[in-house]
Amino acid sequence: MIVKDEFLSRLRKIFDLNLYEVKVWTALLSRGTSTAGELSNISDVPRSRTYDILESLEKKGFVIMKLGKPIKFVALKPGEVVERVKKNLIRHAKERAERLDKLKDDEVLGELNSLFTKGIKFVEPSDLSGSLKGRQNLYNHLDMMVRDAEKTITIVTTSEGLNRKLEALMPSLEGCKKRGVKIRIAAPIDGNNIKVARDFKKVAEVKNLEKMKARFMIIDSNQVMFMLLDDEKFHPNYDIGVWVNTEFFAQALEQMFELAWKDMKSVK
């Protein structure tokens, strides 16, 4: 049985399997039912590993073990596998989320906070910087910055970026609004995002950015997160952002933004 490496690679990513697992699984799919020894020969996976791989696939819901001698394994319909994997993912995610929620009142979190507090005392504010890759990582960090905001939030983004931020940041922005944080958002407003812009007006002052294309956020005039790439030209996985904790640069950037902000038109 010959399966292209590209196809195996896609299966690994989609189903979160290792190379041996996808090789054994696809081999079993091609046979319907088979022994571990036969699958080892077909898939080119070492015989010593095949039983462990099949046990792993069974636990994940990809195969069924058929009792008897010799022991055989039965492939499930791919559609059924998708449903089982989805249910398992939801269950595991729920369990992990519950464990993390319990940490809020656990001594483990207290000790972690103690380590961080002691360590941060030895760090210069200007050293608190870093780069992030991948849009999901960027938004996770942006959300953290928003949740920590105490006075002001300034967001400059693109037309599509405004749409994405509604889902990613709106809940945290609503919390900031309740705390009295002043929020300003500037982005190109068009037919594709006017509804989103109006939704943002519930928590922020929103203006139409026509003369500049940029992507950055300033928090409390001391933290800045700016994205280096044009979101229309690069895949989300390659998006890159730089976060810096620097009052000097943040205030300078905010002062320049103020000049542009005065000339922008408010969203109605």
Q: CATH no. for residue 82?
A: 1.10.10.10
Is the Cβ–Cβ distance between 242 and 263 less than 8 Å? no
Answer yes or no: do 73 and 169 share one domain.
Answer: no
Q: Which amino acid is at 49?
A: R
pLDDT digits (tens, 9 = 90+) for 221-251: 999 999 999 998 999 989 999 998 888 889 9
Q: Model-level pTM?
A: 0.61
Query: What is the band of 116 on the pLDDT scale with cuts at 50, 70, 90?
Result: low
Q: Please state which of the ranges 2-11, 56-65, 186-195, 258-267 shows the lowest mean pLDDT.
A: 2-11
Same domain, 39 and 135: no
Span 141-172, pLDDT tens digits? 999 999 999 999 999 999 999 999 998 999 99
Check whether residue 134 and residue 260 sit in a common domain.
Answer: yes
The residue ranking higher by pLDDT, 91 or 189, is 189
Count of domains for the chain: 2
Contact 38, 31 (CB under 8 A): yes
Are 132 and 231 within one domain? yes
**Are 40 and 135 within one domain?**
no
Q: Can you tell me the mean pLDDT for 2-12?
A: 83
pLDDT band (50, 70, 90) for residue 122: low
> What's the CATH code of the domain at 203?
3.30.870.10
CA atoms within 13 A on the CB side of 78: 9
Instruction: Work out the mean pLDDT of the chain and round it to a whole number.
Output: 88
Q: So what's the pLDDT on residue 206?
A: 96
Q: Name, in order, each residue with C-beta under 8 angstroms of 209's C-beta and a sequence gap of 6 or more.
A: 156, 186, 187, 188, 189, 260, 264
Question: 159 near 187, Cβ under 8 Å?
Answer: yes
Kindly tell me if the per-residue pLDDT of 105 is higher than 90. Answer: no
Asked if 146 contacts 140 with a C-beta cutoff of 8 angstroms, the reply is no
Domain that holds residue 207: 127-266
Cβ neighbours of residue 224 closer than 8 Å, sequence gap 6 or more: 216, 217, 218, 243, 244, 246, 249, 250, 253
Structural domain includes residue 94: no
